[in-house]
């Protein structure tokens, strides 16, 4: 495993084979988002998009809290140079913070979330930008902005009601209360609950399964999942899906997949 030079002090970015491992690293502040962390997250997601040898990413955190949301202390302990670099980037990319938090311009490859401990406010909001979610049995979720008189700006009023039943989404958003890992599983907000201390191992198992599949096919499926949602009419979504499918079926990977199936052996995909 190699740490990449796009890491910041509060966001470690590493490569494990074809997997990008992104770790929130501000445990002393409950991994609350600051400018350094947002900068590292933005760089990680754009790298995931750009590199053909990266097939998916895992987002996790160091410490006993996944993320407590935005730092309401306004980044008082941020390093000056990191803050300046982030502000300079924001001048060029005005929504860089929303891209970092997976509200805008999500990567076109799968994102796996591995949560231990509390994931509140922005911690639960960034969850909704991921595809497969593993929670430790000690995880706690909540969109708590209304309890502070705030609004969940990272997309929860839009996404949450599309990902879980409306009444449950309304309850979470309007009451601002915490829910347990088991409740999150019952709601359909996470895929799996595992014992504390094993969440990253479970996330890596999902990554291994994804990386064994055809990269072009996976990217096309993710693109459809991202773009063809309830707001698009079904016939329009079907046409858009067909447009994604064509290049996949014409690819070398598709031919290799069919040969491997007939020969009863693992497929050797090349991403072409």
Reported as a single tens digit per residue, the pLDDT across 118-162 is: 999 999 999 999 999 999 999 999 999 999 888 999 989 989 998
Q: Domain count of the chain?
A: 2
Query: By mean pLDDT, which of 89-103, 209-223, 230-244 is the weakest?
Result: 230-244
Domain boundary among 171, 188, 212: 212
Q: Please provide the distance, in angstroms rounded to a whole number, between the alpha carbons at the two ends of the chain.
A: 25
Which among 210, 191, 213 is positioned nearest to 270, based on CA atoms?
213
Active-site annotation holds for 145: yes
CB–CB of 144/176 below 8 Å?
Answer: yes
Domain boundary among 197, 212, 227: 212
Average model confidence (pLDDT) across the chain: 91
Residues 83 and 172 both lie in one domain = yes
Kindly state whether residue 269 falls inside one of the protein's structural domains. Answer: no
Residues 151 and 231 both lie in one domain = no
> Tell me, what CATH number does 150's domain have?
3.90.226.10
Residues 149 and 169 both lie in one domain = yes
Residues 112 and 234 both lie in one domain = no
256: its two tokens: 């290799």
Which among 34, 35, 44 is positioned nearest to 12, based on CA atoms?
44
Domain boundary among 170, 188, 212: 212
Residues 91 and 121 both lie in one domain = yes
* Res 79: pLDDT: 57
Residues 100 and 192 both lie in one domain = yes
Query: ∠ CA(53), CA(89), CA(29), 5° rounding?
Result: 85
Reported as a single tens digit per residue, the pLDDT across 84-107 is: 888 899 999 999 999 999 999 999
Please identify which of the residues 9, 50, 92, 125 carries the catalytic annotation: 125
**pLDDT at 76 exceeding the cut of 50:** no
User: In a 3-state reduction of DSSP, which class is residue 255?
Assistant: helix
Active-site annotation holds for 85: no
* Res 78: pLDDT: 56
* Res 231: pLDDT: 67
**pLDDT at 174 exceeding the cut of 50:** yes
Q: DSSP of 80-136, one letter per residue?
A: HHHHHHHHHHHHHSTTHHHHHTTSSS--SS-EEEEE-BEEETHHHHHHTT-SEEEEE
Residues 190 and 239 both lie in one domain = no
Residues 148 and 224 both lie in one domain = no
C-alpha to C-alpha distance for 259 and 272, rounded to whole angstroms: 15
**pLDDT at 117 exceeding the cut of 70:** yes
C-alpha to C-alpha distance for 84 and 87, rounded to whole angstroms: 5
Looking at the whole model, is its pTM more than 0.85?
yes
**pLDDT at 242 exceeding the cut of 60:** yes
Domain that residue 93 falls in: 2-212
Residues 47 and 153 both lie in one domain = yes
Please identify which of the residues 3, 85, 116, 145 carries the catalytic annotation: 145
| Half-sphere exposure of residue 126: CA atoms within 13 angstroms, side-chain side | 31
| Half-sphere exposure of residue 218: CA atoms within 13 angstroms, side-chain side | 24
Which among 177, 164, 251 is positioned nearest to 213, based on CA atoms?
251
Helices 215-227 and 252-263 meet at what angle, rounded to 10? 120
């Amino acid at each position: 495993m190699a740490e990449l030079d796009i890491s910041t002090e509060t966001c470690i970015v590493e490569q494990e084979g074809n997997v990008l491992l992104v770790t929130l690293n501000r445990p002393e502040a409950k991994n609350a988002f600051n400018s350094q962390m947002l900068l590292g997250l933005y760089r990680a997601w754009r790298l995931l998009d750009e590199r053909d040898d990266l097939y998916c990413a895992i987002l996790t955190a160091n410490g006993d809290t996944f993320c407590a949301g935005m730092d309401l202390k306004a980044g008082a302990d941020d390093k000056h140079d990191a803050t300046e670099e982030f502000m300079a980037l924001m001048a060029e990319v005005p929504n860089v913070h929303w891209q970092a938090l997976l509200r805008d311009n999500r990567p076109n490859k799968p994102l796996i979330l591995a949560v231990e401990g509390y994931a509140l406010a922005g911690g639960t909001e960034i969850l909704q930008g991921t595809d497969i979610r593993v929670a430790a049995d000690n995880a706690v979720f909540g969109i708590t902005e209304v309890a502070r008189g705030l609004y969940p700006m990272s997309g929860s009023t839009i996404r949450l009601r599309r990902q879980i039943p409306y009444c449950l989404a309304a309850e979470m958003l309007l009451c601002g209360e915490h829910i347990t890992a088991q409740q999150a599983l019952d709601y359909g907000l996470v895929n799996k609950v595992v014992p504390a201390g094993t969440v990253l191992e479970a996330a890596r198992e999902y990554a291994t399964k994804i990386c064994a599949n055809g990269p072009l096919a996976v990217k096309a499926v993710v693109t459809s999942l991202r773009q063809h949602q309830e707001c698009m009419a079904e016939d329009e979504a079907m046409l858009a899906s067909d447009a994604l499918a064509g290049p996949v079926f014409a690819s070398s990977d598709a031919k290799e997949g069919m040969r491997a199936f007939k020969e009863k052996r693992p497929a050797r995909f090349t991403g072409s």
